[in-house]
Structure 1
Amino acid sequence: MSAPQSEPQARKPFLYVVVCASGIAGDVGKLITAAQEANWDVGVVVTPQGLGFIDATAVEAQTGYPIRSAWRQPGDPRPLPPADAIAVAPATFNTINKWAAGISDTLALGILCEAHGMGIPITALPYLNAAQAAHPAYARSLDVLREMGVLLGSYEPHKPKAGGGADRFRWEEALELLAPVVSRQA
């Protein structure tokens, strides 16, 4: 008599968290924890400049996956499963404008530009100061991202040179914005 076979476990949805160079990037563990508590597996993609703003060892221990920041070589295995959704948090002025313009000069931007064509739901939580937000390129870039279906967070830009508004940045808003979109796909 053979042992009963167990049912295969359903794969959890996989969330890419794209982290940009910002003073609050070191708190990305808050989003990772919230996503894991909401039954997501999480992988982190960081802009090259963003690497200096996070504790890579802690993030890798929390997610169980290596952080991605550079393209892999042809033939190298993919270190992360395919994304079911993407959260860009914090999304900086630089990344928002390059992404909207279709500039793909980093792995993070390459993933974001390609994700649109693949129909992957994306949310972005902008984090920038009011002087940056006053630049006309920023408003145009947000319009382009909205046209692409990107779900944008509600953070109001902080005063320049005022130490940011980290206490007002809601990491969990990324999951709140994605929830209705992801549930329709399930």
Structure 2
Amino acid sequence: MTADSEESKDRRRSRRTAGKPDRRQDKIAQIDAPLQRRTSEVTLGMPVFVPFTGRTTSAIPVEVTGYADDSAVRQDVGMAESERQARVIALLEDNVRTELEVVNGMLDLGLSDAAIERLMEGVTSGVLYAFDIDWAPNWVKSDQVHTWQEAVGWFGRCPQCLMDSPPSTSREEASAWVRDHESSH
């Protein structure tokens, strides 16, 4: 096909559709109309240590895009159903934020903290909207505890409720805290 015939085809198409409403845009608007962005705060039943910050919190703000009438869609899309799911969301946000900060520093992108935060919110919201996620560290053997070290000490994470241990002086101490905590479930 030549460039002239493509151009002619485009002119014929534009004459046929001139003055007519774009039905595709109407359909997209109709689908997106009930979507709304909202921020809700998930209150946890226990204080949770926030990795890399040295803080604990018992409330996590979660920003989601969803339908105004959630009964029309699955209830768990982008919404925290339980304390554990709220913790999974917080861990996902923290991991996405950390990756963005690493890439920002590595590639010298010059992104501000606010820009990184908005990018993290967008990526996390998209993942939560489209996928069922869970925290499942496949690098931890089934008979071991997930532990890590930060500047303030060693930490361990309960695989059931995802609660983090308080700062410990050793990996063994953090693991022991997790095993003791896990027995309370």
Under a length normalisation based on structure 2, what TM-score does the superposition of the two structures give? 0.22
Considering fraction of residues, name the structure with more strand: 2
Under a length normalisation based on structure 1, what TM-score does the superposition of the two structures give? 0.22
Bigger Rg, which one: 2
Q: Which has the higher contact order (CA 8 A, sep 6+)?
A: 1
